[in-house]
Amino acid sequence: MKKTELAKGIYSVGAVDWDVRDFHGYSTYKGTTYNAFLIIDEKITLFDTVKKSHKDTLIHNIKAIIDPEKIDYIVVNHVEPDHSGCLPDMVELVKPEKIICSPMGKKAIIDHFHREDWPYEVVKTGDEINLGKRTVRFIETRMLHWPDSMFSYIKEDGILFSSDAFGQHLATTERFDDEVDLWRVMEESAKYYANILYLYSPLIRKLLKNVSEMDLDIKMIAPDHGVVWRSNIDKILQAYDNWSQNKADRKALIIYDSMWHSTEKMAHSIAEGITETGVSTDLINLKVHHRSDIMTAVLNANTIILGCSTLNNGLLPRMAGLLMYMRGLKPTNKFGASFGSYGWSGEAVNLMNKALEDMKIEVIEDGLRLKYVPDQDSLAECVEMGRRIGKRVLDSTAGQ
C-alpha cells in the first residue's frame, strides 16, 4: 500500500491483501485491505494494526514516515485478528505509553493475547484524549460487529476512524472512494453490510441516530477495510440508513437448487409469471452462486422465493446451508414463498416455508409441490403462482 496522507500529519499505513478469497465463509474475490492509520503529533498515535501475516508491510509503511519506536499510543478500535493480529509484535517494538481501547476491548485483548501487564487506558463514549494539536473523541459501537468495537473521531480534521463500519473487502492501489468507480465501491459496501452487519441493523439505526445527535462535522470516514470515504460520505450514510431499515427494491429473487432439473424448470416458469406482472426478477442457482453473493442480492430485494428438491425427507445440502447462513443474518421486512419437486415424500417446501417464517419473512403462498417431472399443465401452475406473487408484491408496494 502506498503511503497516503489523509490530512496533514495523518497517514494510511495499512496493508493490501490481494490474495485472500475467503473471510470465514464470505467470498472475497476482490481481496481486501487491513487499514491502519498514523497521526504525527506531540503524541504519535497508531490507530489499529493489521493481520499478523501483513506485519512487515505495516512496519515498512510506518518506517517510511517515522521510527516506529517513537509511537506513543496505540488505539485498538477493534480486536478481531485481522486488525490486531500483530498487536503483540507492535507492542514489543513500540513499547507504547498507552494502549487505548474500550472496556470490552481490554477484556478482548486479554482474552486473545493473555497480557494483563500492558499499559491499558480504557475509554468510553464521549471520552477524549489530547494528542497535542489534535483531540480524539471515542464512541463505543458495541456489536458492530463485536462487543469491543468503537470509533475514533479526530475533531480538528473531521476524520472518523470507523473500524469495521462503512468498509468493503476490496483490494486496490487507490485509497479514496473518488479514485475508484463508485458503483464498485457501493457494490462491495453492500456485500460487506449484507454478510457482516445485516444482523445488527437495529443497532446501526441507533448508532446513526446517536452520531447525528452528536453533530459531528465528518469530512472523511476511514474504515478498517477498503477505501476511505471523502467525496461520497452522504451516499454511504444514506445506504446504511436504508439497509438498516430493511428498505429494498421491488424485486423477486428465485433462489433454487435442483437434482434432475425439475425444480429448475419450475423456477423458470415462476419467473415467467412474476415478470409478466412487471416485477423485476432474478434467478439464482445455488450450484453456481456463492452464499455471500446471494445475501447481497437478498439485502436489496423485497421478495425471496425458495426452490428445492426433496432429498432424504429434507433439503438438498446447498439449500440447507444457505438457510442456516441466512437465518443467522436475520433479513426481515420481505415477502417469501417456496416450491419444489419431489419423488415420494416432498417435505422440502414445508421446511423452506418454516425457515422463512422463523426469519419473520411473510409467506404469501402455501407453496407448490410437483411430483417428479413437471408437464405443461404443471408448469402452467408455476406461471400462475408467479403471477400471484407478482401481483401481491405490486399491491403491497403501490405508491412506493
Quick check: is 192 catalytic?
Answer: yes
**Cα(142)–Cα(148) distance, rounded to whole angstroms?**
6
Active site residue 114: no
Which one of the listed residues 54, 83, 169, 225 is annotated catalytic? 225
Q: Which three cell numbers stand for residue 218?
A: 465528518
- Are 118 and 99 a contacting pair, CB within 8 Å? yes
Active site residue 241: no
**Angle in degrees, CA 242, 246, 248, rounded to 5:** 75
Q: Cell numbers of 332, please? A: 426481515
Tell me the pairing of strands 159-161 and 220-222: parallel
Residue of 17, 145, 193, 365 marked active site = 145
Cβ count within 10 A of residue 372: 12
92 is catalytic: no
Q: Is 164 a catalytic residue?
A: yes
Low-confidence ranges of the chain (pLDDT < 70): 1-2, 398-400
CA–CA gap between residue 138 and residue 12 (Å, rounded): 19
- The burial class, CB within 10 Å (0-12 / 13-18 / 19+), for 328 is exposed
Out of 82, 157, 264, 365, the active site residue is 82
225 is annotated as an active-site residue:
yes
pLDDT at 144: 84
DSSP H or E run through 371: strand 368-371
CATH number for 4-244: choose from 3.60.15.10, 3.30.390.10, 3.40.190.10, 3.40.50.720: 3.60.15.10
Query: Which residues is 27 bridged to in the sheet?
Result: 22
Q: 192, 193, 200, 240: which one is catalytic?
A: 192
pTM above 0.85, yes or no: yes
Find the catalytic residue in 41, 140, 148, 164.
164
* Catalytic residue chosen out of the listed positions 72, 80, 241, 282: 80
Give catalytic status of residue 56 as yes or no. Answer: no
pLDDT of residue 208: 86
268 is catalytic: no
pLDDT digits (tens, 9 = 90+) for 6-47: 999 999 999 999 999 988 888 999 999 999 999 999 999 999
Q: Which three cell numbers stand for residue 20?
A: 485472500
E-state strands within 119-224:
120-122, 128-130, 135-140, 150-154, 159-161, 220-222
Instruction: Write the DSSP assignment of 282-293 as a string of letters.
Output: EEEETTTS-HHH
Catalytic, out of 26, 54, 78, 169 = 78
CATH of 249-396, one of 3.20.20.70, 3.40.50.150, 3.30.70.1070, 3.40.50.360: 3.40.50.360
- Helix pair 182-192, 291-299: axis angle to 10 deg: 100
* Residue tagged active-site, from 24, 181, 217, 375: 24
Question: Where are the domains positioned within the chain?
Answer: 4-244, 249-396
Those residues whose C-beta lies under 8 Å from the C-beta of residue 53, and which sit 6 or more positions away, are 17, 85
